[in-house]
Structure 1
Amino acid sequence: MDSNHHAADVTPHVRSNIQRRKKLNHKDKELIKKKLVKSGTVFIIEFFKQWKAFKEKKPNVTNAYFVEVLHCIFFLGYIHERQDKKKPIEPREFFSSDGIYERFQKLFPQAFEQYRTHWPTRTPFSILLDLVTKWKGCSNHTAILKHLEDIRKGMVVDKNKDDQCENNYCLVASVISVCYFQEDMKRSSPIYYGASLSCSGRVETQVMITLSCIKTWNDAVAHAVWHGKSGNIIRLPNGVICMAYKMKLPRGSYLEESPCVKCHRIFQNIDFIPVYTESDKTQDWHYGNCAENESLSNLLNGEERVRNETVAYRHYEEQDSHSLQEQVPLDRAEIVNQAKKKAAQLLNSRGFKIKDDEIESKFFHPN
């Protein structure tokens, strides 16, 4: 058969498939964008209710919590992958009316002015978790989880069974982690909390992980996350207990969950409850995505003894297949320099024009 004739027969079919895939891709992106907007809208409404209720109990609570949430949601909307890169998700799209939008813009101007120039240090759900623990206290993690479950009921975007809020395009954290330091049978530290990175896509998650390695997380956690792929780990002292709770649908209850293989590998000598079990499930999320990063970071920042006794190691394989660990320093400066370059690259791919040496001066600080 003549090759030109064969190509003429195949080409229209191939072209048709390509066009069909483009249409489906465009449709998927539009659905994802709508879901993100709806998620942001309901999150703002529910967070505002929680913040107002907290202020009624403690009138001295500042606007900072709500301003930080608004800024982060606007930022995630701005960097979200969009079909027309000239039209990002604007803050107005997260409000049901011009009146509400204008009211909030007047009351909280900083969030509206800086979402395109400054970056957040944590996700909306981490801010919510911080607010709830400040309000309810941190000693009863069962009560905290129950309160979060009740809040989540007001954050349902769609009730379609296939439209689950634990995917990458909803702002509700699918996993909560709690940890503490048990010095002896009679004495333990406060409970420290963390949430998984509930962002709006894989690139957005990479952005938040990279920014957290620069600014948010404790040195040891940043080291373990940043060097996770190369085999580096941190070893914590005896007595650190860590528990994770994963949201189970459709009820939306947080139930006990064993650590993933990545957390089990990079955070060593921790008593995980439930204990780690090997699994054949695909775990394609990034190092840094899990809730344990935030809770352990908060523990390390709050407990001097744990912080001082935590050691970093480099793991490597010798030619005879023996694995060895070599103690290495926690070099946060090196991590920050590398992460700034990556952050600039990621942010510039989403509409910013920033140099890596400008990253550290552009973190958002609510007034």
Structure 2
Amino acid sequence: MADMSPKLSRAVRLQKKLHNSLWLDQANSLMKTAFNQWKVSQNLYVTQLLDEMVHSILFSGHIRNQLMKPEEIFEADMFGILRCFFGGAFEGYKRRLPKRTPFSCLLELIVETKKDKTLVKNELSNIITKLRGKSTNQLVGRALCIIEECQQISYGVSMPLAEKQFKKIWIALSCMHTWHPHVAYAVRKWTKGEECSVPFPNLEESCQAYVHNGKTLKSTPPCISCCELFSMKHVHKKSRSHLYGNCAEAEAISKYLKLKCVPHLDEPTLISDIKNDLKTKLETVKNSNFDPTVVYEPAPISDDRIKLLFQQISGLL
């Protein structure tokens, strides 16, 4: 039978090819940037963050409309090293879900290696400038949120600048597996058009968001959606409304609530709703059969393997 699918124009084909090329370039640049951060502190935790990030990038390539296989994503030398040291990520990206975006993993690496708030902000700003490029289908977000209270600091980044359908998958994943239940419940309730009665602490004085303007991270007021989610009152007259959970505030406030050991809500019906929402969104991914409850956990790695990884990766950076 003849292929009846519509043929794409040459311009559309070239545009898709360009987007794929930019996406691949950003994936490799993101990985090299992460390794440069890792070299500063090669302990078990930051090495497992690399493992988590590799899996998250592979998952990101797998759920794209134009699927990217691992050997297509990473340059040959990088692919060989990653496959050798983080084999679990390559085996699990089709079956196990990530807990957060590659960009969120990178933030955690920066926080672990830089420690100081100003250094974290400046480093992330420089990385966004370098990595964003011209693609609209990216792995990198453009916003940072910092909450500082009583010498405790929580950081968060926004969702990547990908198509809306993929942002919704990442938000659903974060609600199910990563964010504090207060944040997850609020995001789910508001997304369904229901006001949420979850009490949030007054963070307007200690919570500051920054958006990259093409050159640097610049302070910005919360968007309309964040004001609704987190009971913030100071809406700027030029504020926009984003997807609930898209902004950096969601991750930062979630980490803040965990730091403060805020008790979880007992809402079994809502937990089931969040799980079903994630399942529904994952069903839109071609050639996939994910269980919404199964996530990827990085494997332990010995000190000797970490030293060997350092030796092998140094030649690529």
**TM-score, normalized by length of structure 2?**
0.83
How far apart are residue 49 of structure 1 and its match? 1.4
Describe the shift of the 1:344–1:39 C-alpha distance in structure 2 as closer, same or farther (beyond 3 A).
same
Contact 1:172–1:198 (Cα < 8 Å) also in 2: yes
Matched, 1:204 2:166: yes
Describe the shift of the 1:69–1:280 C-alpha distance in structure 2 as closer, same or farther (beyond 3 A).
closer
Amino acid aligned to 1:341: N
Contact 1:178–1:193 (Cα < 8 Å) also in 2: yes
Q: Name the structure 2 match of 1:291.
A: 248
Structure 1: distance between partners of 2:239 and 2:200: 27
Which ranges of structure 2 fall in alignment gaps of 5 or more residues?
Answer: 1-5, 300-317
Aligned CA-pair RMSD: 2.6
1:93-108 aligned within 5 A = 93-97=72-76, 99-108=77-86
What secondary structure, in the 3-state scheme, does the structure 1 residue paired with 2:198 have?
strand
Q: Deviations over 1:146-179 (max 9, x none)?
A: 111233354354xxxxx26xx4x22222000011
Contact 2:128–2:142 (Cα < 8 Å) also in 1: no
Amino acid aligned to 2:209: A
Q: 2:226 aligns with which of 250, 263, 286?
A: 263
Q: 2:179 aligns with which of 217, 223, 231?
A: 217
Q: Name the structure 1 match of 2:284.
A: 349
Matched, 1:336 2:271: yes
Q: Deviations over 1:272-329 (max 9, x none)?
A: xxx4212375x3x32111100000000001113xx25x9xxxxxxxxxxxxxxxxxxx
Structure 2: distance between partners of 1:100 and 1:129: 21
Matched, 1:242 2:207: yes
How far apart are residue 100 of structure 1 and its match? 3.3
Describe the shift of the 1:351–1:195 C-alpha distance in structure 2 as closer, same or farther (beyond 3 A).
same
Describe the shift of the 1:20–1:90 C-alpha distance in structure 2 as closer, same or farther (beyond 3 A).
closer
> Does 1 or 2 have the higher relative contact order (CA < 8 Å, sep 6+)?
2
How far apart are residue 45 of structure 1 and its match? 1.3
Matched, 1:363 2:285: no
Structure 2: distance between partners of 1:366 and 1:143: 27
Contact 1:233–1:266 (Cα < 8 Å) also in 2: no
Q: 2:101 aligns with which of 123, 142, 153?
A: 123
Describe the shift of the 1:353–1:149 C-alpha distance in structure 2 as closer, same or farther (beyond 3 A).
closer
Q: Name the structure 1 match of 2:302.
A: none
**Which has more strand, going by share of residues?**
1
Contact 1:176–1:196 (Cα < 8 Å) also in 2: yes
Count the aligned residue pairs: 292
Which ranges of structure 1 fall in alignment gaps of 5 or more residues?
Answer: 1-18, 83-87, 158-162, 182-187, 311-329
Structure 2: distance between partners of 1:280 and 1:212: 24
Contact 1:221–1:296 (Cα < 8 Å) also in 2: yes
**TM-score, normalized by length of structure 1?**
0.72
Contact 2:225–2:243 (Cα < 8 Å) also in 1: no
Q: Name the structure 2 match of 1:150.
A: 126
